[in-house]
Amino acid sequence: MPLRLSYLSLLPLLCMAVPLPEVQKINERPIIGIVAQEVTDEAFVPFGKTYIADSYVKFLESAGCRVIPIRLNLTEEEYLRIFKSINGVLFPGGDVDLLASSFARTAGIFYRLAVEATSSGNYFPIWGTCMGFQILTSLTSGKDLLVPTSASNISLPLNLTYDISSSKMFQHASPELLRVLRRENVTANFHHFGITPEVFQANEKLSTFYRILSTNRDKSEVEFVSTIEARNFPIYGVQWHPEVNRFQWRSDHAYPHSVNAMWISQYTANFFVNEARKNMNTFSSVQEEEESLIYNWTPKYTANISGYEQAYFF
């Protein structure tokens, strides 16, 4: 009489024969650092030497993370300790020298540490907005390759490239969200300099490290690169400002406030914070973590003197 085996009796053997896929660990309490910006606006001088606009803080917090300020002019050892404690870093917009400023030095240290960590299997993401985008191009190329672009106080759609479909940033975006990006003025631009696609592609360090996801044209029809992501690292840059859609309100500034503009802003915040969830760095103690969070500083109302509603000063 032939041996009859039920499916249930075979289940243990099937489980042994087919290895289960490894489940990726997810950090449910991510903390992201924002590099402080040097004060260049005279209106801010009385309050401190460096600052972080609250819109960047809220942008990240809205996607479910906490934030610490990364202050300038610390030692490399102090930056290394911070790097090993956080799960990602954001380079904000501003107006400083891309090669010689304190901001450039600090960003450069975190860029190097992030590349080294990811190369060794410790996934560490970076996001650059506006000048943060520009600093990424200078850190990778070793040069300031910017040219004048008349794209201040204007909102635009994106001219998406073919790499969008296979990109990490947008490969899971819905067709409707991509349609919004292509057709509606949902990306706010506030920059006087940019990098052209021709210069970008001609620089071997840039073209091999990043791929271009979108371009735009300024008020004089000069084309500039507007969105990039690294090919082999979780490093992302946008020449536009996704944070202003939801958190900045000055009426004479081209901040897009449509429902779809809110969607784009939240999408980008969710994307980057989800990238940070793939990093498992932690502070050495609960006390050190709590003392590092931006909750320890009180933001100042600045909407009467700037485009920011509030800012943290250091």
49-60: pLDDT as tens digits: 999 999 999 999
CATH number of the domain encompassing residue 152: 3.40.50.880
Q: Please report the pLDDT score of residue 15 as a whole number.
A: 39
| Residue 69 lies inside a defined structural domain of this protein | yes
CA dist 9 and 278 (Å) reads 38
pLDDT at 24: 76
Catalytic residue among 130, 191, 192, 253: 130
Identify each DSSP E strand in 46-98 by its residue range: 50-53, 66-70, 89-91
**Domain count within the chain:** 1
Residue 218 lies in a domain: yes
Q: Could you tell me which residues are beta bridge partners of residue 9?
A: none
Provide the token pair at 97: 């020298």
Range of the domain at 44: 29-313
Does a structural domain hold residue 13? no
Pairing between β-strand 66-70 and β-strand 31-35 as defined by DSSP bridges: parallel
Is residue 172 flagged as an active site residue?
A: no
pLDDT, position 23 = 52
Region of 114 on the Ramachandran plot (φ > 0 left; ψ -120 to 50 alpha; else beta): alpha
Task: Report the C-alpha gap between 63 and 86 in whole angstroms.
Answer: 16
What does DSSP say about strands 159-160 and 210-217: parallel, antiparallel, or unpaired?
Answer: antiparallel
User: What stretches in the chain show pLDDT beneath 50?
Assistant: 1-21
Note whether residue 90 is domain-resident: yes
Catalytic residue among 15, 192, 241, 257: 241
Position 10 in a domain: no
Residue 98 lies in a domain: yes
Q: Residue 49: its pLDDT value, please?
A: 96
pLDDT of amino acid 157: 98
Q: Is 241 one of the catalytic residues?
A: yes
Of 247, 290, 250, the C-alpha closest to 269 is: 247
